[in-house]
Amino acid sequence: MTPVLRVEALQVEIPVKTGLLRAVRGVDLDIRAGETHGLVGESGSGKSLTALGIMGLLPARARRSAAQLRLGAVDLLALDERAMEDVRGDRVAMIFQEPMTSLNPAFTVGAQLTETLRRHRKVSRGEALERAAEMLTRVGISSPRTRLAQYPHQLSGGLRQRVMIAMALLCEPKLLIADEPTTALDVTVQAQILRLLAELQRAMGLAILLITHDLSVVARVAQRVSVMYAGEVVETGAVADVFARPAHPYTRGLMAAVPVPGKVRRGAPLGTIAGVVPSLVGEIDGCAFRARCPSAHDACLRLPPMRSVGDDRRYRCHLPPEVAEARA
Ligand code: SF4
């Protein structure tokens, strides 16, 4: 089946004073219809820039290149900015940690929802308002007519998040990119928003690329996962496989850093991976994780290969599968 999104060898480079910051280094991703694909990694690993690169929303001085960047049959690399604007909000939409990134404080919720709809669909203002109210109901907002007349600052954080989701899904996109959508919310609202996204996904057959640093969120809602480190995907596969038997030492380190209820002493410091991420300015010699890796050896001075395990599982490391498996 053709994936909803195919990304091959995506690069994002940003000129900085000290040289060329290679923030995204050859990322491959395939996202299928109806699935949630988690993209995880520490801050600065390139997750958000990967998303912005797909959306064509990078800062002006950033440069994007890729071997393939396709949304269904549409070649995103061939689109100019105007054509990309038509695609954004229609076939692909993005939501952020902070809803005010998407919502304009100066306009009512109704004005913003109807403008989004009328930009992409030929509908009258009355019809657009009708559909906006329906969508607010669909995302669990009561009294939608009242909410349409309100400004974003009159809503709670959880409601603003729901409005942002409603705006993203108004045109029924094929793909939703969600960048840390629940990080700023308390645990109860976080659970509600994740449940809502799962319900909408089932109803609309939506594919979701879920960017998060929270492995427990991925474990709860995603079917597949890609782990990013220093601008590269270092491991990818079905969530159940990757989390049960992480092959890449970085994935193992990330998982070991997650506190396990009942096994962590109260007040004990949260687990971390020792060492620091290498500078992303210029080339990195050999494996980018080398300085932090407990399994590093001489071969790691060379760029590690992407190894396949089965049909759908890959990891970038010199350790062969049987050794990686034994260490999992
Ligand atoms: Fe560790 Fe070497 Fe594998 Fe890199 S290639 S993750 S340094 S074992």
Q: Which residues form ligand 1's pocket by a CB distance below 6 Å?
A: 248-249, 287, 289-290, 293, 295-296, 300, 304, 317-319
Measure the N-to-C terminal CA separation of the chain; round to a whole number of Å: 31
| Residue 138 main-chain phi, psi, to 5 deg | -65, -30
Give me the pLDDT at residue 102, please: 82
Question: Stretch 284-303: mean pLDDT, rounded?
Answer: 95
Q: Tens digits of per-residue pLDDT, 117-130?
A: 999 999 999 999 99
Q: How much of the chain exceeds pLDDT 70, in percent? A: 95
Atom of ligand 1 nearest to the CA of 299: 2
Atom of ligand 1 nearest to the CA of 318: 5
Residue 9 has pLDDT above 60, yes or no: yes
Give me the pLDDT at residue 120, please: 93
What is the rounded CA–CA span in Å between residue 288 and residue 174? 34
Give me the pLDDT at residue 266, please: 56
Q: Calculate how far, in angstroms, residue 238's C-alpha sits from the geometric centre of ligand 1.
A: 21
**Can you tell me whether residue 26 is helix, strand or coil?**
strand
Atom of ligand 1 nearest to the CA of 250: 6
Nearest CA to ligand 1 atom 5: 317
Residues 225, 315 contacting (CB under 8 angstroms): no
Across 17-21, 102-106, 157-161, 188-192, least confident range: 188-192
Give me the pLDDT at residue 265, please: 56
Question: Stretch 139-166: mean pLDDT, rounded?
Answer: 94
Q: Calculate how far, in angstroms, residue 237's C-alpha sits from the geometric centre of ligand 1.
A: 18
Per-residue exposure over 267-289, b if at least 16 CB sit within 10 Å of its own CB, e if not: eeeeeebeeebbebbeebebbbb
pTM of the model: 0.92
**Can you tell me whether residue 309 is helix, strand or coil?**
strand
Q: Tens digits of per-residue pLDDT, 167-186?
A: 999 999 999 999 998 877 78
**Mean pLDDT of the chain, nearest integer:** 91
Residue ranges of the domains in the chain? Answer: 5-91+173-327, 103-172
* Residue whose CB lies within 8 A of the most ligand 1 atoms, among 254, 302, 315, 318, for a mutation test: 318
Question: Stretch 133-138: mean pLDDT, rounded?
Answer: 94
List strands edge to edge, sheet with 207-212.
92-95, 175-179, 207-212, 36-40, 224-229, 232-238, 313-316, 306-309
Residue 261 pLDDT class (50, 70, 90 cuts): low
Name the amino acid, one letter, at 60: A
Residue 303 has pLDDT above 80, yes or no: yes
Give me the pLDDT at residue 50, please: 97
CATH number attached to the domain at 5-91+173-327: 3.40.50.300
Q: How much of the chain exceeds pLDDT 90, in percent? A: 76
Q: Calculate how far, in angstroms, residue 249's C-alpha sits from the geometric centre of ligand 1.
A: 7
Distance, C-alpha 19 to centroid of its chain: 27
Q: Tens digits of per-residue pLDDT, 194-209?
A: 999 999 999 999 999 9
Give me the pLDDT at residue 258, please: 73
Angle between helix 157-169 and 125-138 (nearest 10): 120
